[in-house]
Structure 1
Amino acid sequence: MPPALKALFAQLAGWACAILLTRAGWLPPGIWALAGTQALCAMVAAVAMRSARWWLLIHAAFAPLLVVAGRADIAPAWYLAAFMLLLLVFWTSFRTQVPLYLSNHTTIGALAALLPAGRPVRVLDLGSGTGSLLRGLARLRPDGRFDGVEAAPAPWLLSRLLGRAADRISVRRGDFFAESWAPYDLVYAFLSPVPMARVWHKAEQELAPGALVVSNSFPIPGRRPDEVVEVGDGRATRLYVYRVTDRRASK
């Protein structure tokens, strides 16, 4: 079941549980008892459906925040503006289960060290966000070509504006699985555990032997990395490095 649908069912279950307990007289009067019970029941339902842990925080806060917002007398237009902003930033994250992650400067330096030396390189960033990784690599490797693919409108537009002066950076808006990865020496992914098996399948199909797939924080399931780079930053980042082999030669 998609995570967004699980969240909807958990919220409905939470409200049903809270209303039934209220009608049975098992809850004290007041909106806060209803909201607290709804939050607790929604969390239990989310656990039963094996939702990711961060969904529990959302379920815990959702009903209480509704109460707070209802008493704050905020104009409806502000809610619409907040929704539109979140939509522009996160776009299809609810479906792809890939949130917006940004790579720090230490990680960019560690990734640059993995690039082949002595020749021009081409790098593809899957879900390139604001383009910070591309701009950092372009400064460290002036002989390279750095492309990104981003689906969310706001990060894509920001990356275009910030990288417009660099002719070696290109950021396209769209689905990176629909793009060809064949020309690249290295494909970088800072996504989530969900799409990593599909990332590796596409890499095996399209990348040339010797090309690298580097995943920030999320290993490819069922495959041992050829190298694990301990970045040494504040969040203890790990880069999982996979080298594409010639499948025909291995048969």
Structure 2
Amino acid sequence: MPPALKALAAQLGGWLIAVLLARSGVLPGGLWALLAAQSVGAVTVAAALRSARWWLPIHLCFTPLAVAAQGLGLHPAWYLGAFLLLAAIYWSSFRTQVPLYLSNRDTVQAVAGLLPPDRPVALLDIGSGTGSLLRPLARLRPDCRFKGIESAPAPHLLACLLGRGLTNLDLRRGDFFAQPWSEQDVVYAFLSPVPMAKVWSKACAEMAPGSLLLSNSFAVPGVAPAFTVTLNDRRGTCLYGYHPAGTAPIAVK
């Protein structure tokens, strides 16, 4: 079942549970007792449907916050504006299950250290977000070519604004699965566990011998990485390195 349908089913199931409990006399009287029952019921249904874990706090808070917001007396335009802003930032996350992750400075230094120092390379960041990885890399290695593909309009626009003047940086908006990876020496991914099998399949089909697939935090299921790099940052970031073509791997410092 698609994530959006799971979310709808969880909310409707939560209301069904809350109404049944209210009619049976189990719940104490009052609106907030009903809302609490709906929230817990929605979380229970979402867990039963095996929704991603990050959906659970959303279901827990959604209905109580929606009811509380009614008492603020805000103009409907504020809700529309908030919806449009979130849509511009997260775009198709509900479908792809890939939230917006930003690569930190430690990751930039680690990736820079994995690039061959004696020759230029082409690196593609799939789901490049605000360009938090590509912009500093483009400054560190002006001899290399860096390309980013991001589907969400707001992060892409911010990346373009912040990356102005970097001639070795190419930022595009679109679906990275629809773009060819064959000309890339390195493909960097900071996505989620959900698309990694598809990422691996595309990398094996298109990337040339000697290329490197580098995944931040999320391993390819069922495939042993050629190497791992664990960073000493707050979240204990782990980089997983794979050689899709299986021969003549790119030299790693």
- Check whether TM > 0.5: yes
* Coarse TM-score class (shorter-chain normalised): over 0.9
Shift of residue 246 of structure 1? 5.0
Tell me what 1:26 maps to: 26
Tell me what 1:229 maps to: 229
**Whole-angstrom CA distance in 2 between matches of 1:204 and 1:26:** 57
**Whole-angstrom CA distance in 2 between matches of 1:116 and 1:45:** 50
Q: Spell out the pairing of 1:209-228 with structure 2 (5 A cutoff).
A: 209-228=209-228
Asked if the contact 2:148/2:172 (under 8 Å) is kept, the reply is yes
**Whole-angstrom CA distance in 2 between matches of 1:66 and 1:26:** 24
Asked if the contact 2:207/2:245 (under 8 Å) is kept, the reply is no
Asked if the contact 2:122/2:145 (under 8 Å) is kept, the reply is yes
3-state SS of paired residue (2:54): helix
Asked if the contact 2:138/2:146 (under 8 Å) is kept, the reply is yes
**Whole-angstrom CA distance in 2 between matches of 1:22 and 1:194:** 38
TM-score (normalizing by structure 1): 0.96
Tell me what 2:39 maps to: 39
Which amino acid is the alignment partner of residue 226 of structure 2?
D
**Whole-angstrom CA distance in 2 between matches of 1:139 and 1:157:** 19
**Whole-angstrom CA distance in 2 between matches of 1:246 and 1:103:** 27
| Runs of 4+ that moved beyond 3 A | none
Shift of residue 245 of structure 1? 2.6
**Whole-angstrom CA distance in 2 between matches of 1:27 and 1:231:** 49
Identity %: 60
Gaps of 5+ in 1: none
Shift of residue 72 of structure 1? 1.6
**Whole-angstrom CA distance in 1 between matches of 2:244 and 2:113:** 18
TM-score (normalizing by structure 2): 0.95
Which amino acid is the alignment partner of residue 24 of structure 1?
S
Gaps of 5+ in 2: 248-253
**Whole-angstrom CA distance in 2 between matches of 1:179 and 1:200:** 15
3-state SS of paired residue (1:113): helix
- Deviation string 1:55-99 (CA, Å, 9 cap, x unpaired) is 111111111112211122121111111000000000000000000
- Deviation string 1:188-217 (CA, Å, 9 cap, x unpaired) is 000000111111111111111110000000
Structure 1 pair 28–165 and aligned structure 2 pair: CA distance change class (3 A): same
Q: Spell out the pairing of 1:196-215 with structure 2 (5 A cutoff).
A: 196-215=196-215
Instruction: Give the alignment's Cα RMSD to 1 decimal.
Output: 1.1
Which amino acid is the alignment partner of residue 185 of structure 1?
D
The 10-residue stretch of structure 1 (179-188 or 62-71) with the greater mean CA deviation from structure 2: 62-71
Shift of residue 179 of structure 1? 0.5
Shift of residue 244 of structure 1? 2.6
Asked if the contact 2:200/2:244 (under 8 Å) is kept, the reply is no
3-state SS of paired residue (1:120): coil
Tell me what 1:156 maps to: 156
Shift of residue 132 of structure 1? 1.5
Q: Spell out the pairing of 1:1-251 with structure 2 (5 A cutoff).
A: 1-246=1-246
Shift of residue 51 of structure 1? 1.3
Shift of residue 26 of structure 1? 2.6
Shift of residue 108 of structure 1? 0.5
**Whole-angstrom CA distance in 2 between matches of 1:231 and 1:186:** 19
Number of matched residues? 247
Which amino acid is the alignment partner of residue 102 of structure 1?
L
**Whole-angstrom CA distance in 1 between matches of 2:82 and 2:195:** 28
Which amino acid is the alignment partner of residue 88 of structure 1?
A
Shift of residue 142 of structure 1? 1.4
- Deviation string 1:109-146 (CA, Å, 9 cap, x unpaired) is 10111112211111000000001211111122111010
Tell me what 2:251 maps to: none
